[in-house]
Amino acid sequence: MISDLFAIGRDTPVIIQGVTGRMGRRHAALMRAYGTRIVGGTSARPGGIEDMPVFGDCRAAVAATGAQASVVMVPPEDVLAAAVEAIAAGIRVVVTIAEGVPVHDALKLKAIAAAAGAVWIGPSTPGMARPGVVKLGFLPDIALRPGDWALLTKSGTLSYEVGYRLAARDLGQSIWIGVGGDVVKGVRFADLVEPLAQHASSRGILLVGEVGGTEEEEFADALIRHRFQKPVLALLAGRESKQGVAMGHAGALTFGETGTLRSKRERLEAAGAEVFFSLDALVARAAALSPSSNHDQSKEHAHG
């Protein structure tokens, strides 16, 4: 359930699948240094690394550590098997970061996660974080600052810049969720509207979208359906993209008028969101809507 995602905290036991690989080792250490409770990992070469137990499979890892979340750091062709293994072992939140996961694998994984009531973030995501508390993935620390804006993103690089510029203005995020840019994915923007309406720590939503796909339109429909009352500021990237030219994420496709910046802007504004095409304008508006006491609130979030 999506609520499991919002319950991730300092005490949540997390494992890294593929932890003995170069990326697995590096980011396990970085996540642990940030405060994430990394309790172990899995690998075809079980053993131990840097005071961390490494198991041969997720079932053994969960039995020994009580892990509730997993960050999957394996090649794209191995993501389906690894994520299914995690879900079968009882993992509630699975984050898969690899780019290039086959669409058919993503379709299977989406169905399996839904049937099990597990939350899957990915594929091709930088992860998620509750700044000052925990992060799952490789979101850069310099862009993470405790605050009260929920940051929802497709693009990794663009969202890092948004986070960094928010931090430079003494603003931050209550939660940051990178849904990824693939056509078929686990968590989508629209799935997060209802829980964020109830999320007391979030004053509003900063949405980092882009040309192509229908996700922003679906999000707009969800805002109306759930009668979302908090501020929503949306950045739409790709204003200079050329029709018929392949670029960006695998999911950045347009179909007639659907998926265009015009379609997204009209639907978002009809749902009450403010739409921006400039990163500076988005951040400036977020600052204007934030109270002068935001810095003190950020400190409280950091210790919450």
Positions annotated as catalytic residues are 249
Instruction: Write down the residue that tokens 């004053």 correspond to.
Output: 203
Instruction: Write down the residue that tokens 């389906």 correspond to.
Output: 80
| Calpha distance 126→139 (Å, rounded) | 6
In contact, 132 and 144? CB cutoff 8 Å? yes
End-to-end CA distance of the chain: 23
3-state secondary structure of 15: strand
Q: Where are the beta strands (DSSP E) in the chain?
A: 14-17, 38-42, 47-49, 52-55, 69-72, 93-96, 119-121, 127-130, 134-137, 146-153, 173-178, 204-210, 232-237, 274-276
| Calpha distance 175→150 (Å, rounded) | 5
In contact, 182 and 208? CB cutoff 8 Å? no
In contact, 50 and 29? CB cutoff 8 Å? yes
Q: How far is CA 98 from CA 82, 123, 124, 138, in A?
A: 12, 6, 5, 12
